[in-house]
């Protein structure tokens, strides 16, 4: 069976990042690129908070997630892994 891509979900924790060395090794062995993903949740309704505030918070979380994924991507690219990120 051929694999086209490895998708690696991350939550921003050091625990989740412990998988990265293994992801690199498996990616090399399978000769497939890696896609890093970070999912975050903004509650749709927060009592007493306006929709504009929720949108601002969601945007800040998205920017933080993009920065985080780019940082993690850099660590993998530095060791020669083909990596992309989802969220930009």
| DSSP assignment of the chain | ---S-EEEEE-S-HHHHTTHHHHHHHHHHHT--EEEEE-----S--TT--HHHHHHHHHHHHHHHHHHHHHHHHHHHTTT--EEEE--
* Alpha carbon 50 to chain centroid, angstroms: 28
CATH class of 6-86: alpha beta
**pTM for the predicted model, two decimal places:** 0.81
Read off the pLDDT of residues 25-78 as tens digits, 9 standing for 90 and up.
Answer: 999 888 899 999 998 777 666 667 777 888 888 888 889 999 999 999 999 988
Instruction: Parse the chain into domains and list their residue ranges.
Output: 6-86
């Amino acid at each position: 069976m051929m694999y086209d891509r490895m998708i690696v979900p991350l939550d921003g924790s050091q625990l989740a990042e412990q998988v990265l060395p293994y992801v690199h090794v498996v990616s090399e062995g399978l000769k497939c690129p890696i896609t890093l993903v970070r999912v975050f949740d903004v509650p749709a309704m927060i009592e007493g908070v306006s929709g504009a505030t929720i949108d601002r918070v969601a945007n800040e979380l998205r920017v933080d997630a993009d920065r985080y994924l780019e940082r993690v991507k850099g660590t993998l690219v530095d060791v020669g892994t083909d990596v992309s990120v989802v969220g930009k």
